[in-house]
């Protein structure tokens, strides 16, 4: 009884604090994500007042938060839009991997770490945080913007790539060899293709099985289906986020519309829990020794990620303000980076400083990412873009001498 009472007190107090921080952040016009993270740091391991009883609750709630963020993104788009965007964004996905994985791998080698640590750190710097970015896009009211499908396409390609990367890196860390890695990769590829085919070809049947006229049944049905598919995907070493996203893609029509309305409050609640939990499991005492290397790595890869989004948006004809919005929105790293670092730590055979470096790196990008995403909305940034465009228009046309 004492434990359950303590759990209620800790969860209630922290959620109340989050409500105050959320209201404060919106009054000053900022995303609440950095404040949620700082609250987690204050009450996590090594913080001012560690909360022990509620850690397990926030761990489960954090997983649900990521799943809800991704299914809500999926509800915004149809299966045909997904396939079209993936085809058009395939080159951007390749650029994304080269621009953002290679700096992490090279950084590990410069620190004197082995090739396994380089493989792990490359994955940590490669993949953006779908959960954080989904929250930022919703907070800034950009879900309907022209550049948002480009952002989502890059995120989905990354998540699908993680479905292949995670089994491989797990096999490398476990030392199971090429055979074990090949089997894990085959299972991951098969699962992704199966879920994608079901979502595209039979999504209308799934929607017809759920009634939009009964809110309670619809809420329970969509939530249950999403958690079930996400859990099965995770069991098969495939991203739970990919499973949740594809569930959202599969639903259409009135069912998708009403599900969005019903799930929005739950998404906001568990998304806040996700960001707090990230801070709770990060010990502030581990940050100072690796702060400068993590800061240098963050500066480099935030620039490469911004360039990735800028080029991806330019490729499909998005205007310059939208290109910057796409690039800066992709900056945060998060859940996948922590998962990759956790796998390496659990294996016990990788550089011991990797966990602290990864946590500090992710924390820097998650705190600065939502702030950077707002830059294109500031008047001075808009003036800079207008002046840049005007200067380009005033450039003299080169004169080509005619042949004599």
Q: What is the dihedral of CA 178, 179, 185, 187, to 10 degrees?
A: -170
140-156 pLDDT tens trace:
888 888 888 889 888 88
Largest Cα span, the chain? 97
For residue 238, report the phi and psi dihedrals to the nearest 5 degrees.
Answer: -110, 150
pLDDT of residue 240: 73
Q: Assign 301 to helix, strand or coil.
A: helix
DSSP assignment of 193-256 equals: HHHHHHHHHSHHHHHHHS-TT-HHHHHHHHHHHHHHHHHHHHHTTS-HHHHHHHHHHH--HHHH
pLDDT of residue 363: 83
pLDDT of residue 178: 57
Task: Please list the helix, strand and coil fractions of the chain in percent, rounded to the nearest 5, in that order.
Answer: 80, 0, 20
* Nearest CA among 298, 371, 325, 270 for reference residue 32: 371
In terms of Cβ atoms closer than 10 Å to its own Cβ (0-12, 13-18, 19+), residue 178 is exposed
**Residue 52 and residue 172: Cα distance in Å, rounded?**
34
Q: pTM for the full model? A: 0.70
pLDDT of residue 300: 96
Q: At what angle do helices 148-174 and 240-250 cross, to 10 degrees?
A: 140
Residue 300's CB: how many other CB atoms inside 10 A?
A: 16
pLDDT of residue 46: 66
pLDDT, tens digit only, all 404 positions of the chain = 457 788 888 888 888 988 898 888 777 766 677 788 788 878 877 666 777 667 778 888 888 887 887 788 778 766 666 666 667 777 888 899 999 999 999 999 998 988 888 989 999 999 898 878 888 888 888 888 888 888 988 888 887 777 677 667 777 776 665 566 667 667 766 766 776 677 667 776 777 777 767 888 888 888 898 899 888 877 776 667 667 877 887 777 778 788 888 888 888 888 888 778 877 777 778 788 889 999 999 999 999 999 999 999 998 889 888 999 999 999 998 767 877 776 676 666 677 788 788 888 988 898 888 889 989 888 888 888 888 877 776 655 455 444 44
Could you identify the residue written with the tokens 């493989």?
119
pLDDT of residue 81: 65
pLDDT of residue 124: 92
365 contacts 333 by C-beta, under 8 angstroms: yes
How far lies 185's CA from each of 5, 127, 263, 349, in Å?
A: 45, 18, 33, 22
**Residue 108 and residue 100: Cα distance in Å, rounded?**
13
* Nearest CA among 370, 79, 371 for reference residue 252: 79
pLDDT of residue 69: 77
pLDDT of residue 316: 85
29 contacts 35 by C-beta, under 8 angstroms: no
235 contacts 241 by C-beta, under 8 angstroms: no
248-299 pLDDT tens trace:
877 777 787 888 888 888 888 888 887 788 777 777 787 888 899 999 999 9
pLDDT of residue 101: 93
Could you identify the residue written with the tokens 């491989």?
168
pLDDT of residue 222: 86
Residue 40's CB: how many other CB atoms inside 10 A?
A: 26
Could you identify the residue written with the tokens 């994985």?
101
pLDDT of residue 299: 96
């Amino acid at each position: 009884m004492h434990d359950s009472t303590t759990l209620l007190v800790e969860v209630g107090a922290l959620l109340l604090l989050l409500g105050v921080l959320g209201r404060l952040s919106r009054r000053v016009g900022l995303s609440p994500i950095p404040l949620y993270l700082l609250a987690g740091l204050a009450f996590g391991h090594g913080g001012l007042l560690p909360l022990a009883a509620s850690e397990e609750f926030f761990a489960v709630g954090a997983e649900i938060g990521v799943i809800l963020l991704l299914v809500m993104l999926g509800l915004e788009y149809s299966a045909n839009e997904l396939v079209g965007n993936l085809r058009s964004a395939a080159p951007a996905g390749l650029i994304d991997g080269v621009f953002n994985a290679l700096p992490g791998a090279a950084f590990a080698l410069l620190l004197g770490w082995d090739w396994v640590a380089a493989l792990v750190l490359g994955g940590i710097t490669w993949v953006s945080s779908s959960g954080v970015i989904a929250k930022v896009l919703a907070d800034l009211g950009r879900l309907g913007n022209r550049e948002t499908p480009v952002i989502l396409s890059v995120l989905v390609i990354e998540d699908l790539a993680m479905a292949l990367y995670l089994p491989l890196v797990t096999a490398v860390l476990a030392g199971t060899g090429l055979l074990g890695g090949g089997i894990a990769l085959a299972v991951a590829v098969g699962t992704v293709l199966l879920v994608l085919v079901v979502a595209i070809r039979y999504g209308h049947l799934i929607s017809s099985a759920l009634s939009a006229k009964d809110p309670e049944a619809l809420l329970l049905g969509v939530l249950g289906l999403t958690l079930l598919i996400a859990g099965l995907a995770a069991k098969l070493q495939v991203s739970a986020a990919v499973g949740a996203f594809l569930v959202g893609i599969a639903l259409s029509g009135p069912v998708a519309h009403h599900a969005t309305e019903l799930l929005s409050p739950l998404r906001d609640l568990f998304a806040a829990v996700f960001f707090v939990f990230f801070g709770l499991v990060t010990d502030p005492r581990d940050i100072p020794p690796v702060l400068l290397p993590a800061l240098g790595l963050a500066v480099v890869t935030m620039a490469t990620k911004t360039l990735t989004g800028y080029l991806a948006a330019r490729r499909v004809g998005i205007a310059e303000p939208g290109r910057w919005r796409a690039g800066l929105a992709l900056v945060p790293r998060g859940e996948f980076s922590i998962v990759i670092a956790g796998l390496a730590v659990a294996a016990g055979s990788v550089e011991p400083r990797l966990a602290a470096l990864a946590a500090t790196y992710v924390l820097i990008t998650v705190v600065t990412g939502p702030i950077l995403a707002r830059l294109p909305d500031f008047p001075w940034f808009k003036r800079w873009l207008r002046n840049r465009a005007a200067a380009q228009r005033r450039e003299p046309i080169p004169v080509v001498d005619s042949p004599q």
